[in-house]
Structure 1
Amino acid sequence: MTISATTTTTHPADAVARLRALGPGASPDRLDDVRRAFHPSFAGPALIEYAGVRPALPDPDSALAALRALARAQVTPAPAEVLAAIPETGDELIDSLATAVAADVFGDAVAAHGSEAAAAAIAAASPRRRVLLLDLAERHALRCFAVADVIADLDRDRGHRHAALRYLSQCAGDPAAAEAIASARESTDDPYERVLASICLARLADVPDGAPLWTAPPPARPGLTVAQSMLLGSFDHPGAGASGGLTVLLRHLGHALPRRPGIARVVTLTLLGRDRLTERPALAEADGTGHVVLRLPVDAPGAPAQIDLSRHRAAITFLARQLLWLSGCTPDVVHVRYSDDGSAAIAQAARALGARTVFTLTADPHRSLAERYAAGPADPVAARFDLHRMYTADRLVATADTLLGLPGRPGGELPGYFPRLRGREPESVAEGIALLPRVPTAEARQQRLAESLFAPSPGLPRLDDAARGLPVILSVGRLHPVKQQDLLVEAWLTRGLHRHAALVLVGGDPAAPTAEETSVLDRVLALSEQHPEAAGRLAVLPALGNDDVRLLEHGLTRWLPAPTPHLYVCPSRKEEFGIAVLEAMDAGLLVLGPRRGGLGHYVEHGRNGMLADTATLSRFADGLTAFVRAAAGDPVRARAAAAAGRATVARRFGIDRVAGRFADVYQHSVATPRTVQP
């Protein structure tokens, strides 16, 4: 049951790696070392979880950490012990995180102690946990509650009603269950509840009924069905909200993978908020290329923020399991890429369907924790969530059939952050992009996009005619503190770089911004107002579709000529791979990106781009200044570096080449005897 096993040598300078190497019985010196390295709001729960330290006070975070410690124990607890360990704090986030952990450990307990012990534990548990108990019973096919009792409580509250419908959907053969679900569907105008009830009724029938809501065409040829998940932000609007480069990658893989031998179709799982359910006549959308987008309804206005996914985990697991089956898209292999409860939910659904799971493991969030939670004040909510993500990543590592890692720095960071990979070395597989042809395409559209940088826009700055002839520094991405667009603007302004280059930011949804988007955009606009001398040299555009971003990048040189190459800057605190950077390189822009992360795998400093330290304003401003001055001082060399960047992408990162590598991984995962228990 335990997440952990063998240990690995860690980097002595990294406090997170030293924390991860702890275990019960660690020496006082090692415990004190970790205490000194982190703020108490992080160190306290971390030491309870990793080293078995007894909490000084019975506070909610300590109780949550003790539950995670139970998940890491060498001996699997009994089902009743799991339920007794769940804290009830009244804090919605803590309680939802605890519920997610409890669902994991309860599954281990069922496997170790049997269904009879699990059913007895559920029957004896406090009725205050009724929503969790209903979901645990449904997940493990336990008939712990009388149908009549569940129906009698349908109107208790919204969360309870949804859990009750999910539970009733397994009660095939009981007419009362079907009648109650049908009545719930017909008596509500709520779009989420109507869809949920429809899915539950179809499950009760035990035969996919071909409903237009979820029917997908069968694949055109034999081969594997591959599912991939993208549950953050909008799959239709990369760069808005929480969606970004991964959305672009998965869309291109969805088209490219079915062209590979042995792959019949790709199903991309994404979330659809209840407010948009009425806009879409179907949850399954096929585009004729072998790619199906399957939208899982979620009881939230839009796709939840990552920190809120634990609240929806049980529902996501249930709906992924049912809709993949109902749509005829039962997968052979499922690939998840984030260390969060969304990925955990999809992986759990995959195992229930008998699919193999692939997990792309990254150093995020571990890499930045030592800085974020040093001795100074810490945000307890952020610390709580980061500890949970570390736990979730370990669970995904423990249960995945195949582990992948993104190419990164020599020697890799993963062994230090995941000292219990159980002797498995993740295979390194690069991501990629669709290559655009060298000959000009959609020239009229390119010109319109280039000219849009000068078109006045209420509330957002644009370039003026005095900026024509200047090289453009372009930066594309979702507006988020980790992307640090405000740091880029501040460095550009304070170093006087606005006299030498215009700056264009693309990203975000000003019409319906998230809290993170509002924060970054307000900071950018405030900086702009503080420097009126730079007016007309900064343009901020909302997120564009990926096709338009590519056309804008390719059109800059053609329609906005300058004496030096146009530039692309990724100011992120870290970038695990950088799809947007690859796209800029493919367009012939000279790129600058962060040293931290995986860009060093393909950006060779000084040869095909440049790397900079983005950890502080002063360090980044130094790197940005050197970058702009180098391009202006030696345009011939700068153009040669940009051409080398384009050649790097063409040689190594075209989507067809990348899809071939992923296809090999998926086929090997399915063909290899399973060593991880589902």
Structure 2
Amino acid sequence: MISQDTRTTAVADPVAVLRTLTPGAGPDRADAVRRALHPGFAGPALVEYAGAVPDGTDPDGAVAALRALTRRTGTPGPGEVLVAVPETGDAALDDLAGSVALDLFADAVAAHGKAAAAAAIGTAFAVAPPRRGALLLDLAERHGLHCLPVSAAADAGPGDRRYRHALWRYLSQLDEAPAATEILAAAHIRAADPYERALSAVCLARQSGQGFESPLWTVPAADRRGLTVAQSMLLGSFDQPGAGASGGLTVLARHLGTALPRHAGIARVVTLTLAGRDLLRDRDTLAEAGDDGHLVLRLPVDSPGPPPQAALARHRPAIGFLARHLLWLADRTPDVVHVRYSDDGSAAVADAARAMGARTVFTLTADPHRSLAERHRAGRPGDRQAARFDLHRMYTADRLVAAADTLLGLPGRPDGELAAYFPRLRERPEPESVAEGIPVVSPVAAAEVRQEQLIDSLFAAGSGLPRLVPEARGLPVVLSVGRLHPVKQQDLLVEAWLSRGLYRHTALVLVGGDTTDPNDDEARILGRIRELASRYPAAAGRLAVLAAVSNEDVRSLEHGLSRRLPAPTPHLYVCPSRKEEFGIAVLEAMDAGLLVLGPRRGGLGHYIDHGRNGLLADTSSLAAFGDALTAFVRGAADDPVRARAVAAAGRDTVARRFGIHEVAGRFAAVYQRTAGTTARPATANLLEGPPSPNADPR
């Protein structure tokens, strides 16, 4: 176990070079990008950044040309924006184009005025099919434009669900139109499913004012003094971290929501999350208010469950609308809103923040930029869906950076990494670093019975997934917790553990994923794990795979291992991810006294001093990771005293530096500075100041 510095200076890659391009400049650099990256990525990227002429037959090039309009000098007029929005015939690509149109049109309204915007919508609506009509209705609603007669709007898209919902949102602003009230009231009575009942209720309430009461959003009166902070956590299940797209940041949001109001100046926290139709069917309310100042507010979404990140563009208008109006109806209009992902969910919440007059905080990372050069390098098979989504995320991150009042970064990032991927930052100080990913880290006082139940579940046969056999008791456990996703690389861990024969000396326990109704990523990882296990029959009974459990249960399991499964050497924790921005699960394992191994790539080097309080590994290949994992397991077995000392140092690191109260205090200070800011900081775009934070969003 040796100590080493894991920080490196960012080196320009083709994506970093791409970010320096402007139309008509640097043909040599543009050619270098074209040679280094797959045509399916480089083609539209050069249209967007370098001003290349799109191929008239390439729909991705047409959407890239639309994004390029946001980067040019001078703001196009509202009519020009609407003409430029392509209809490609590909629903997912058209959704991305619609998201860009929301941004471009907002710029056009600010530059050219509402009268021009209303005229452009009226002209376009006359010949618009239902999908385009829905976009026009949402543009009109977002900017308070009463430019479409009720009868014409109501008759334009019969039978089209998306159009119908956009129509309700548009009609909700027409509070002096009896015909609009009649349509919304009838829609509420005839709502076909829980989503339509919830959306129509919000639209009616908006039109009639706060006098329209509903248990969907009714919460106790807000009698605390101080700031109201909203934070969004829109990926996966908020109730089951580790399942689907939900991960460590979900745990962070829950714990910060409780800890922040304990600090002076922070009155309450609202966590915004999504509720699909399945969840809405079983709920009488969208709001869960605790007596600790934390409110969880679930935004209905027209999807069976929380949509995947790549599908959020479709739901962006509805998410933004519901965030605005449910916060208002619940009397929780925020002063500050914090978003953390470069996606359309964050864009929707940031839109809502601006409409409500709230200041915004954006945590900026180099993800996905740092991995794109490898993912889309020349010579690799092209993935059109991945290329278009990655380019859109880069664009969305730029918009969020430009609009944010405060930018934050994660500690442990290489010097200059953010500036390499975000040219706006090159002449300005990099964002302030504030540690994220920190749940409650005090020792878990879990009930003895629950610890025993969780340990017993490792040996419970009949689940359809691998479990340990009784003979595995007494072996050191290698534990890994996280959502089942390719970037988390649980299959790499299983393959390394099996191929290096480590099953002879340890038991491997994986916790995470929805194993009952897995999504595509979860199904692929589970299938791969089963296939690998079938190759090594001698390892049967040494591997256990458990579905995601609550964070409280994860902590109980970790703390219960040493008490309920004593072994001659320390129990181990392995994070095999390709990279980790911070690593909540790693900190939790350190707090439980497990000896940890995590990826060298990412932010773990901020708190893991290799060989002193944990270990870092190259997780980029099976060979490299297999070597590191073998050395990790054998090192603990050969020198258990030293291994326990390193694990104890890890626990001390967490106790000294990452208690949730201290972390929440740092965030509270950021939010207070942001709310009191009268001029934009150097790392944000200079925009006009917002309206009053208590503005009625209507």
Amino acid of the structure 2 residue aligned with 1:381: Q
Shift of 1:22: 1.2
8 Å contact 1:210–1:327 — kept in the other structure? no
Instruction: Identify if the C-alpha distance between structure 1 residues 147 and 39 changes in structure 2 by more than 3 Å, giving closer, same or farther.
Output: same
Residue 417 of structure 1, aligned match among 407, 415, 421: 421
8 Å contact 2:268–2:294 — kept in the other structure? yes
Residues 231-272 of structure 1, C-alpha deviation per residue, up to 9 Å, x if partnerless?
Answer: 111101111111010110000001000101011100000010
Instruction: Identify if the C-alpha distance between structure 1 residues 208 and 589 changes in structure 2 by more than 3 Å, giving closer, same or farther.
Output: farther
8 Å contact 1:432–1:654 — kept in the other structure? no
The alignment partner of 2:297 has SS state of strand
Tell me the equivalent position of 2:6: none
Tell me the equivalent position of 2:19: 20
8 Å contact 1:477–1:506 — kept in the other structure? yes
8 Å contact 2:99–2:313 — kept in the other structure? yes
Q: Where does 1:594-605 land on structure 2 (aligned, <5 Å)? A: 594-605=599-610
Tell me the equivalent position of 1:316: 319
Residues 65-89 of structure 1, C-alpha deviation per residue, up to 9 Å, x if partnerless?
Answer: 0001001112111111111111111
Residue 180 of structure 2, aligned match among 177, 181, 205: 177
Residues 20-77 of structure 1, C-alpha deviation per residue, up to 9 Å, x if partnerless?
Answer: 1111222221111101111000011111111111124431000010001001112111
Amino acid of the structure 2 residue aligned with 1:373: H
Residue 203 of structure 2, aligned match among 194, 200, 204: 200
8 Å contact 2:474–2:568 — kept in the other structure? yes
Tell me the equivalent position of 1:274: 277
Residue 390 of structure 1, aligned match among 385, 389, 394: 394
| 1:637 maps to 2:642 | yes
Q: Distance in 2 between matches of 1:193 and 1:432?
A: 35
Residue 580 of structure 1, aligned match among 575, 582, 585: 585
Q: Distance in 1 between matches of 2:403 and 2:180?
A: 34
Instruction: Identify if the C-alpha distance between structure 1 residues 132 and 587 changes in structure 2 by more than 3 Å, giving closer, same or farther.
Output: same
Tell me the equivalent position of 1:240: 243
Q: Which moved more, 1:369-378 or 1:21-30?
A: 21-30
Amino acid of the structure 1 residue aligned with 2:661: D
Tell me the equivalent position of 2:477: 472
Instruction: Identify if the C-alpha distance between structure 1 residues 235 and 439 changes in structure 2 by more than 3 Å, giving closer, same or farther.
Output: closer
Q: Where does 1:119-158 land on structure 2 (aligned, <5 Å)? A: 119-125=118-124, 126-128=127-129, 129-153=132-156, 155-158=158-161
The alignment partner of 1:127 has SS state of coil
Q: Distance in 1 between matches of 2:365 and 2:211?
A: 37
Instruction: Identify if the C-alpha distance between structure 1 residues 440 and 283 changes in structure 2 by more than 3 Å, giving closer, same or farther.
Output: closer
Tell me the equivalent position of 1:624: 629
8 Å contact 2:188–2:200 — kept in the other structure? yes
Residues 283-311 of structure 1, C-alpha deviation per residue, up to 9 Å, x if partnerless?
Answer: 11112111100000101100000000001
Taking structure 1 as the reference length, the TM-score comes to 0.97
The alignment partner of 1:593 has SS state of strand
Shift of 1:448: 1.9
Q: Where does 1:636-655 land on structure 2 (aligned, <5 Å)? A: 636-655=641-660
8 Å contact 2:255–2:440 — kept in the other structure? no
8 Å contact 2:319–2:349 — kept in the other structure? yes
8 Å contact 1:479–1:520 — kept in the other structure? yes
Shift of 1:439: 8.0
Tell me the equivalent position of 1:345: 348
Q: How high is the sequence identity, in percent, across the aligned residues? A: 69
Q: Where does 1:255-294 land on structure 2 (aligned, <5 Å)? A: 255-294=258-297
Tell me the equivalent position of 2:105: 106
Q: Where does 1:515-594 land on structure 2 (aligned, <5 Å)? A: 515-594=520-599
| 1:380 maps to 2:381 | no
The alignment partner of 2:362 has SS state of strand
Q: Distance in 2 between matches of 1:97 and 1:327?
A: 31
Q: Which moved more, 1:121-130 or 1:160-169?
A: 121-130
Shift of 1:152: 2.7
Residue 511 of structure 1, aligned match among 516, 531, 539: 516
Shift of 1:466: 2.0
Residues 322-347 of structure 1, C-alpha deviation per residue, up to 9 Å, x if partnerless?
Answer: 10101101000000000000000000
The alignment partner of 2:423 has SS state of coil
8 Å contact 1:209–1:326 — kept in the other structure? no
Runs of 4+ in 1 over 6 A off after TM superposition: none
8 Å contact 1:20–1:418 — kept in the other structure? yes
Residue 617 of structure 2, aligned match among 612, 628, 646: 612
Q: Distance in 2 between matches of 1:613 and 1:401?
A: 37
| 1:89 maps to 2:80 | no
Q: Which moved more, 1:201-210 or 1:39-48?
A: 201-210
Amino acid of the structure 1 residue aligned with 2:401: V
Q: Which moved more, 1:216-225 or 1:370-379?
A: 216-225
Higher relative contact order (CA 8 A, sep 6+): 2
Shift of 1:436: 5.2
Residue 226 of structure 1, aligned match among 224, 229, 251: 229
8 Å contact 1:450–1:552 — kept in the other structure? yes
The alignment partner of 1:72 has SS state of coil
Q: Distance in 2 between matches of 1:359 and 1:533?
A: 49
8 Å contact 1:185–1:197 — kept in the other structure? yes
Shift of 1:214: 0.4
The alignment partner of 1:106 has SS state of helix
The alignment partner of 2:424 has SS state of coil
Tell me the equivalent position of 2:683: none
Paired residues, what number?
669
The alignment partner of 2:70 has SS state of helix
Shift of 1:354: 0.3
Tell me the equivalent position of 1:329: 332
Q: Where does 1:57-96 land on structure 2 (aligned, <5 Å)? A: 57-96=56-95
Q: Distance in 1 between matches of 2:664 and 2:211?
A: 31
Q: Which moved more, 1:15-24 or 1:535-544?
A: 15-24
8 Å contact 2:252–2:436 — kept in the other structure? yes
Amino acid of the structure 2 residue aligned with 1:307: A
Instruction: Identify if the C-alpha distance between structure 1 residues 12 and 642 changes in structure 2 by more than 3 Å, giving closer, same or farther.
Output: closer
Q: Which moved more, 1:279-288 or 1:452-461?
A: 452-461
8 Å contact 2:238–2:250 — kept in the other structure? yes
The alignment partner of 2:224 has SS state of coil
8 Å contact 2:312–2:344 — kept in the other structure? yes
Q: Distance in 2 between matches of 1:659 and 1:374?
A: 40
Q: Distance in 1 between matches of 2:535 and 2:219?
A: 54
Q: Distance in 1 between matches of 2:446 and 2:128?
A: 63
Shift of 1:432: 4.8
Q: Distance in 2 between matches of 1:161 and 1:441?
A: 49
8 Å contact 1:409–1:598 — kept in the other structure? yes
Q: Distance in 2 between matches of 1:449 and 1:33?
A: 54
Gaps of 5+ in 2: 1-8, 681-686, 691-698
Residues 464-511 of structure 1, C-alpha deviation per residue, up to 9 Å, x if partnerless?
Answer: 122111110000011111111001000100111111211000001111
| 1:307 maps to 2:310 | yes
Residue 216 of structure 2, aligned match among 213, 216, 226: 213
RMSD of aligned residue pairs (Cα, Å): 1.4
Residue 365 of structure 1, aligned match among 328, 344, 368: 368
The alignment partner of 1:645 has SS state of helix
Residue 168 of structure 2, aligned match among 151, 154, 165: 165
Residue 452 of structure 2, aligned match among 426, 447, 457: 447
8 Å contact 2:204–2:212 — kept in the other structure? no
Instruction: Identify if the C-alpha distance between structure 1 residues 436 and 306 changes in structure 2 by more than 3 Å, giving closer, same or farther.
Output: closer
Amino acid of the structure 1 residue aligned with 2:381: P
Residues 426-477 of structure 1, C-alpha deviation per residue, up to 9 Å, x if partnerless?
Answer: 1100025344555864222212211221111331011112211111000001
Shift of 1:366: 0.5
Q: Distance in 1 between matches of 2:297 and 2:373?
A: 38
